[in-house]
């Protein structure tokens, strides 16, 4: 037996949805999708149009309805452990990946290629990282973190290249929390950050919740959360 839903809330959702009846979400019509949302049979992210800038205001209103119906959990503050700054959201890894992607500017002259394991320290960070190179493009490298694991540990004995200090130019991952706008300066907490330190940057690309953030800085221009 189908879960009974609030018809008024469904109708409100229908007015907020794009109304294209495109079927991309898996339902033939937007009213069917709205009912599925209220029955917890689908997620708002299934509608790709709702995550375009044109529908930002509608999406916020739709999420408010889903929170009222306890479909979406209420937002909680994300606070960095190291310095107590509040973040706008957590940046999680892409599906089936174990850390956010980092785009690095290495200062080394050593040739680096896809598949290499590198040991480096991000400029401004006191912790040494190990990363696997996923892509190399005109001197920029995209990596996944695979540590900080040190070779003093006999169980971790993989070959790596020492590249020294690198500048972190960007991150890519999935936003958990309120969606920003493209071009917005944001404070975010990378899910894998070992110091749990809030970073800042500019959102340069957003597809659903998949975000690319560039202009990374470990300095956050906001007062820390007290209490």
Report domain extents, the chain: 7-68, 78-217
pLDDT of the residue at 26? 92
In this predicted model, what pLDDT tens digit does every residue of 28-53 receive, in sequence order?
999 999 999 999 899 888 898 888 87
Q: Are strands 129-137 and 161-177 parallel, antiparallel or unpaired?
A: unpaired
Candidate CATH numbers 3.30.410, 1.10.15, 1.20.120, 1.20.1070; the one for domain 7-68: 1.10.15
Torsion-angle region of 138 (φ positive above 0: left; ψ -120 to 50: alpha; else: beta): left
pLDDT of the residue at 76? 66
Handedness of CA 69, 71, 73, 75 (dihedral sign): negative
**Whole-angstrom distance, CA of residue 70 vs CA of residue 106:** 46
Nearest CA among 164, 173, 169 for reference residue 206: 173
- Residue ranges of the chain whose pLDDT lies below 50: 1, 151-152, 154
pLDDT of the residue at 166? 95
pLDDT of the residue at 223? 59
In this predicted model, what pLDDT tens digit does every residue of 129-141 receive, in sequence order?
999 999 999 889 9
pLDDT of the residue at 220? 79
């Amino acid at each position: 037996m189908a879960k009974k839903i609030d018809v008024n809330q469904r109708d409100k959702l229908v007015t907020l949805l794009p109304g294209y009846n495109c079927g991309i979400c898996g339902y033939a019509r937007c009213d069917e999708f709205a009912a599925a949302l209220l029955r917890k049979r689908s997620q708002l992210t299934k509608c790709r149009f709702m995550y375009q800038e044109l529908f930002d205001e509608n999406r916020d209103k739709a999420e408010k309805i889903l929170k009222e119906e306890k479909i979406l959990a209420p937002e909680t503050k994300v606070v960095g452990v190291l310095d107590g700054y509040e973040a706008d959201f957590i940046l999680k890894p892409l599906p089936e990946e174990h850390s956010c992607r980092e785009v690095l500017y290495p200062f080394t002259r050593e040739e680096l290629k896809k598949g290499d394991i590198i040991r480096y320290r991000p400029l401004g960070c006191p912790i040494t990282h190990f990363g696997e190179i996923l892509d190399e493009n005109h001197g920029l490298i995209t990596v996944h973190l695979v540590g900080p694991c040190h070779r003093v540990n006999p169980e971790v004995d993989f070959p790596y290249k020492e590249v020294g200090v690198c500048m972190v130019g960007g991150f890519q991952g999935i936003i958990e929390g309120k969606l920003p706008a493209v071009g917005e300066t944001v404070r975010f907490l990378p899910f894998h950050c070992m110091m749990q330190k809030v970073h800042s940057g500019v959102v340069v690309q957003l597809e659903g919740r998949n975000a690319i953030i560039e202009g990374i800085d470990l300095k956050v221009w906001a007062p820390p959360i007290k209490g």
